[in-house]
Structure 1
Amino acid sequence: MRGNDEMQEALFTMAKLEDFVPLDHPLRPIQKIVNTALSGLNDLFNEMYAGSGRASIAPEKLMRALLLQVFYSIRSERQLMEQIRYNLLFRWFVGLAIDDPVWDHSVFSKNRDRLIEHEAVEKFFTEVMSLADKGGLLSKDHFSVDGTLVQAWASHKSFRPKDGSDGGPDTPGRNAESDWKGRPRSNDTHSSTTDPDARLFRKSSNTAATLCYQGHALMENRNGLVVGAVVTHAGGSAERDAALAMIGTVPGTQRKTLAADKAYDTAGFVESCRLANVTPHVAMNVARSGGSAIDARTSRHPGYEVSQRIRKRIEEHFGWAKTVGRIRQTVFRGIHRVDLQFKLNMLASNIVRMSRMPTVVPEFAVQGAR
C-alpha cells in the first residue's frame, strides 16, 4: 500500500545530538584532540574575559567553529553561522544543543582582535603539539622549512605612490581604469591603499608579481607535523630570516638538521645555521653565482639524502591549506589577521593528520596518516 506524502512532527522528541553522529565519523577523533587541547587553555580564557558583566560566548565554541570553517572550506562567517543553524553535525562539534540559539556572525569580527592580542591561536597550536609530543610523534632533531605566497585581498589598482603623486585613478568610477605601463613601481615608493601591509613580490623571474604575504612553516621530519608557522611581509630574504627565527625557538641544545629547497642555498643562511648548531640540509643550487654553499662535508652523509626526500612533505600542508583552508588568497587585511588565518590552517592540517594516528586517539583513530 502506498504511503502518504506528508510529515507530522511529534509534540515531543527524545533525541540527542550524539545519536546523529556515526561512531566512525572523522570528526570524532578530531573533536577529542581539540577538546583536550582547549582544556589546557582555561587560564588563558579566564584572562581574556572580565570576571563580571554579561556572560560572553564561550571562547572554546568560537575556536571549534573557526576550525569547522577551515575543515569544510566555508567561505565566510555568515555562511558558517547559517550552517551551524541547521547542520546537526556542526552543532555537535561546536557544543550547541539542538534548541540553543545561534549567535550572530559579527561575533567573530569582535573577538578576532582579542584572539590576536592574547595569542590564543598560537597557544592553542602549542597545546596540540604538546599532545603530539606526549604521543611520541615529534622529532626533536630533524626539521624541514619552506615558505609559500598568500595572495593579499587587494588589487594592483590599489598599489599607488605613497606621496599621492599619480593623482588618483585615470577614469572615474568604482572599478576605474589604471594604466601604469612604463611607470616604475616598488615597495619603497608605493603601497596598497586597500591593504598597506601587503607587498608587491614574485617568487621567481618567470612568474607575475602580486600583492601578497609570505607564510612560513617549520615541520618535524618524523610524522610531518608543522611545529612552527608565521606570516611575514613578502621579501627576498623573508624565507631565510623566518627559517632561522623558527628553528631558534625549538627547545634543546642538541644538534639539529634543517632541510630546505634551493632558495635557502646562500652562504649567509648556511653559515647562520652552523653558528646556531644546526646542520643545513639545503638542496644544492649549483646554478647560483659562485656555486652552492653546501659542500661534501654535509652532502656526503646518508641523512642529507633522507632530509631531501622528507622535506617535500611540507608542501602537503600548503596544498591542503590552499585547497581546503582557502588561503590561496586571504580574505583578511593586515598582517596580524592573515597570520592568525595561516596559523589556524596549519593547526587544522596538523589535527587532521594526528586524528589518524592511533597513539593520539586510540579509540577512534584510523591507521595511517594523510
Structure 2
Amino acid sequence: MRSADVTQSEMFSYRTLEQRIPASHPLRKLRVLVDGILATLHADFEALYAKTGRPSIPPERLLRASLIQTLYSIRSERQLVQHIDYNLLYRWFVGLDMDDKVWDHSTFTKNRDRLLNETVARAFFGKVLGLAQWHGLVSSEHFSVDGTLIEAWASAKSFKAKDGSGKPPEGGGRNATVDFHGEERKNDTHASTTDLEARLFKKSKGDKSRLCFMGHALMENRNGLAVDVETTLATGKAEREAAAVMVERSLKRGSTLGADKNYDTAGFVKVMRQQGITPHVAQKTNGAIDGRTTRHAGYGVSLRVRKRIEEILGWAKTVGGLRKTCFIGLAKVKAQMTFTLAAYNLTRMATIFGWRLNTV
C-alpha cells in the first residue's frame, strides 16, 4: 500500500541530540580526544581573556568549529555557520544543543581571529603530537622534510610597482583589465596591494609565478605524522632555512633527515652535519651528497619513505583548504598552517587506531 506524502511539522522532539549521533560514528572518538586536549589548554585560554566584560564565544567551541571547517573542507566562515545551524552532527561536535542559537558569521570570525593565532595553534599542535608520542606512534630517529606553496589571497592584478609606475588599468569597473606584457615585475620593485607579505614565486621552471607563501612540514617516518611545521615568505632558500629551524627545534643528534633534491646543497648539508643530523637528501648530479652517505642501506630507505610527506601536504591543500588561503598576512597563514597539520595528525591517528575518519 502506498503511503501518503504528508508533511506536517512536529512541535516537539523526543530524542536528544546525543541520541541522534550514531554510537559508531568516528567523530565520537575524535570528540573525546579533542575535549581532552582542550582541557589541558584551560590555563592558556584563561590568560587570553579578560575577567570582566561581555562573555564571548567559548574558545573550546571556536576551536571545535574550526576543526570541523578543516576536516570537512568548508570554504568560508559564513558557510560554516550555516552548516552548524542545520547539521546536527556539527552542532553536537561543537557543543551546541538543538535549540541553541548559532553565532553570526562576523561574530565567529572576530572571535576566532582573536583566539586562533600562532601561539594557540602551536599549543594545540603540540598537545596532539604529545598524545601521539604517548601512544608510541612517533619515531625519534628518522624524519623527512618538504615544503609547498600556499597561494595567497591576492590576485596578480594587485601586484603593482612600489613607485606607482606601470601601465594603468584599461576600462573601468571592479575587475578592470591590466596588461603586464613587456613589464618586468619583481618582488624588489613590486608588491601586492592586497597582501603586502605575499611574494611572486614559482617552484619549477614550467610553472607560472603566483603570489604565495610557503608552508613546511617535518614528518617522522614511522607512521607519517607531522612533528613540526613552519610557514615563511616564498623565496628560493625558504625550504632549507625552514628545515634548519625545525631540525634545531625538534630533532636530536644522530637522527636522519630525508628530503628531495632541492635540499642537496653544500650549505644545507654542512648545517645538518654540524647539528649532528645525517642528511639523507636526494642526490643531484653535482650535489653535496656523496658515497659517504649513499653507500648505507638506510639512505635508500629514507628516500622511499620521505615521499609519504606528500600525503601530509596534499591533504592540507585539498582537504584542509591550504591550496589557496583565505587569510591575509603571514601571521594568520602561519596559524592556519599549524592548525591544519594538527587536524591532519588527528585524522592520521584515527586511521592508525582503526576508526578511520571519513571527512569527504
Gapped regions of structure 2 (runs ≥ 5): none
* Deviation readout 1:299-346 (Å, 9 max, x if unpaired): 111111111111111111111122212211112111111222222221
Q: 2:271 matched to which residue of 1?
A: 272
Q: 2:241 matched to which residue of 1?
A: 241
Q: Which runs of 4+ in 1 moved over 3 A?
A: 1-4, 7-12, 365-370
1:314/1:369 CA distance change after superposition, 3 Å: farther
SS of structure 2 residue aligned to 1:249:
helix
TM-score, structure 1 as length reference: 0.92
Q: 1:198 matched to which residue of 2?
A: 198
Q: CA deviation at 1:14?
A: 2.6
Q: 2:289 matched to which residue of 1?
A: 294
SS of structure 2 residue aligned to 1:318:
helix
Q: Does 1:314 align with 2:303?
A: no
How far, CA to CA, are the matches of 2:62 and 2:225 in structure 1? 24
* Deviation readout 1:200-248 (Å, 9 max, x if unpaired): 1010112111111111111111110011112111000000000000111
1:18/1:112 CA distance change after superposition, 3 Å: closer
Q: CA deviation at 1:96?
A: 0.5
Q: CA deviation at 1:80?
A: 0.6
Q: CA deviation at 1:8?
A: 4.1
SS of structure 2 residue aligned to 1:146:
strand
How far, CA to CA, are the matches of 1:202 and 1:3 in structure 2? 61
Residues 285 and 292, structure 1, Cα contact 8 Å, conserved in 2:
yes
SS of structure 2 residue aligned to 1:298:
helix
* Matched residue type, 1:82: Q
* Matched residue type, 2:56: S
Query: What pairs up with 1:73-92 in 2 under 5 angstroms?
Result: 73-92=73-92
Gapped regions of structure 1 (runs ≥ 5): 359-364
How far, CA to CA, are the matches of 1:32 and 1:356 in structure 2? 16
* Deviation readout 1:231-266 (Å, 9 max, x if unpaired): 1110000000000001111164x3111110001000
Single out whichever of 64-73 and 101-110 deviates more from structure 2. 101-110
Single out whichever of 230-239 and 26-35 deviates more from structure 2. 26-35
How far, CA to CA, are the matches of 2:65 and 2:171 in structure 1? 43
Query: What pairs up with 1:63-82 in 2 under 5 angstroms?
Result: 63-82=63-82
Q: CA deviation at 1:86?
A: 0.9
1:56/1:118 CA distance change after superposition, 3 Å: farther
Identity of aligned residues (%): 52
Q: Does 1:283 align with 2:278?
A: no
How far, CA to CA, are the matches of 1:111 and 1:9 in structure 2? 35
Q: 1:28 matched to which residue of 2?
A: 28
Q: 1:349 matched to which residue of 2?
A: 344
1:178/1:11 CA distance change after superposition, 3 Å: closer
1:305/1:98 CA distance change after superposition, 3 Å: same
Q: CA deviation at 1:107?
A: 2.5
RMSD of aligned Cα (Å): 2.0
How far, CA to CA, are the matches of 1:200 and 1:312 in structure 2? 27
* Deviation readout 1:259-298 (Å, 9 max, x if unpaired): 1000100000000000011110100011xxxx12111111
Residues 321 and 349, structure 1, Cα contact 8 Å, conserved in 2:
yes
Q: 2:256 matched to which residue of 1?
A: 257
Single out whichever of 216-225 and 170-179 deviates more from structure 2. 170-179
Q: 1:56 matched to which residue of 2?
A: 56
TM-score, structure 2 as length reference: 0.95
How far, CA to CA, are the matches of 1:34 and 1:314 in structure 2? 24
Q: CA deviation at 1:10?
A: 4.8
How far, CA to CA, are the matches of 2:118 and 2:40 in structure 1? 15
Q: CA deviation at 1:113?
A: 3.7
Q: CA deviation at 1:198?
A: 0.6
Q: Does 1:327 align with 2:322?
A: yes
Q: CA deviation at 1:9?
A: 4.7
Q: CA deviation at 1:51?
A: 1.4
1:11/1:192 CA distance change after superposition, 3 Å: closer
Q: CA deviation at 1:73?
A: 1.1
How far, CA to CA, are the matches of 2:329 and 2:22 in structure 1? 40
